[in-house]
Amino acid sequence: MAAAKSPDKAFPVSWEMFHRDCRALTWRLAGHGPFSTIVTVTRGGLVPAAIVARELGIRVIETICVASYGHGGNQPETSQGELTILKGVAEEIRVLGNGEGRRVLIIDDLVDTGKTARVVRELLPAAHFATVYAKPMGRPLVDTFITEVSQDTWIYFPWDMGLTFQPPIHGND
């Protein structure tokens, strides 16, 4: 697979900003519930799922483990490779997600191209799908999101960044 072109724009997200956006997502979701179960898409969906679960009082949290970004060994992190489901959803939650449907809430940090969202939607077609951030190609696949960013933007999540000194823009005076 050829390496993907680097994204043109960067969108760094701090912990405070991410927490605020997750709480805003929760406010929107509160009107769509009640939900009995969260299915979170790992790894990116783990942090927003924890925040949403706390805010909505949901205790049943399941994971679907999907690998797509740079899992092919020599791929850069910003390229999306083949999609691999590493762990599916428990049968009782699949039944709930296909029966009662909207009582199941799928949470992810971001919908990008929609590849992951399509696979998860196939497993739980009646569930409510929510992401914190959405790009135009994937946006039609989610029911609720907070912030849309352009397709050529790379979101730098707080768990992907470290604290480092940044020199002043004006140089060394």
**Catalytic pick among 21, 109, 143, 173:** 109
3-state secondary structure 3-16: CCCCCCEEEECCHH
**Catalytic pick among 8, 21, 112, 173:** 112
**Catalytic pick among 8, 108, 143, 173:** 108
Residue with tokens 């609720």: 144
Q: Tally Cβ neighbours within 10 Å of residue 63.
A: 19
Give yes or no: 160 in active site. no
DSSP-based three-state secondary structure for 132? strand
Give yes or no: 109 in active site. yes
Query: What whole-number distance in Å separates Cα of residue 147 and Cα of residue 170?
Result: 31
Query: What whole-number distance in Å separates Cα of residue 12 and Cα of residue 158?
Result: 8
Give yes or no: 108 in active site. yes
* Active centre residues (catalytic): 108-109, 112
